[in-house]
Amino acid sequence: MKYSGRQFSVEEMAFIRRIIEEDPARTRCGISKLVCEHLNWRKADGGLKDMSCRVALLRMQEDGLIMLPASRMKNGHANGKPFLRRTLFAEPGLPVSVPVHLMKDLRIECVTSRGDSYLWNEYIARYHYLGYTKLPGAQLRYWARWNGQELALFGFGACAWKAEARDRFIGWDAKQREKNLQRVVNNARFLILPWVRSRNLASRLLALISKRVADDWQQRYGYRPVLLETFVQCDRFRGTSYKAANWLLVGRTKGRGKKDVHHDKGKPLKDIWLYPLQKDFRVVLCS
């Protein structure tokens, strides 16, 4: 069986069932770490691929292969329930209509503290049309701030396992994709807060963020991505800001969803936009 980009043998599945059953007090987090250690499932920096493993375990449970212990998450948002936290800090701010060329101190900052993380989650839950879901695997989240005020938010995480137009554009085969998929990073969330109205701000922010994602990723995870991707829902947006920031429109999804393996076409169609972070990205991804 294949989950989170990894093949699991019959023996490995039996091991996973055994460690779940032998100690009912084990948490989902503890189980995923034991699985990673036993399988030597690690990231490029040597750390355990804990988040990828948790996603894999949830998919196994959905397919009826294992039965995980009940989640101990109090807020429940990691299990598909809405992020319900509401504070005054995420209430609508003062209107911003300053032209972007006059924003001299426009800054992109990583989300680092727990308080910032909760606030980022709350903004996304309240003002992004897709709402909040936990970003899978390795991830980075950002603020765009000006004059001490939040203007926009970015979220980057694991890319899609397969995307026909993207994969054709890259030119890699299945083995190359499996080996180098982590070098492609997905811009999963981009939100300009609804009280911010500044012409060309979106493309300016995309240009700024694209200059630092690779360095930040290298610093945090020990390897360097070479390509960004994003999916823009066709019936809601035209991708104008991505085009203005020199992203490349390479095709359209077939409505099957990011992790679909059953060829179910029930999702909205989305345009696929890519942004190379270095000129030889194809050489790296097809190695």
Ranges of beta strands (E only) in 16-148 are 107-110, 140-146
- Would you call 74 exposed, middle or buried from its count of C-beta atoms within 10 A (0-12, 13-18, 19+)? exposed
Residues of the chain with pLDDT under 50: 75-79
Name the nearest CA neighbour of 214 among 287, 137, 152, 275: 275
Predicted local confidence at residue 84, as pLDDT: 73
Predicted local confidence at residue 277, as pLDDT: 97
Helices marked H in 133-278: 164-170, 174-180, 201-210, 213-221, 240-244
Rounded distance between C-alpha atoms, residue 147 and residue 94, angstroms: 12
Paired tokens of 99: 């032209």
Name the nearest CA neighbour of 207 among 228, 193, 226: 228
CATH 3.40.190.10 fits 77-285, yes or no: no
Rounded distance between C-alpha atoms, residue 145 and residue 82, angstroms: 26
Predicted local confidence at residue 5, as pLDDT: 79
- pTM metric for this prediction: 0.75
**Structural element, H or E, at residue 52:** helix 50-62
**Structural element, H or E, at residue 29:** helix 28-39
Predicted local confidence at residue 6, as pLDDT: 86
**Which residues, at least 6 apart from 67, have a Cβ–Cβ distance to it below 8 Å?**
20, 61
6-7/2-3 β-pairing: antiparallel
Within the chain, which residue ranges are assigned CATH 3.40.630.30?
77-285
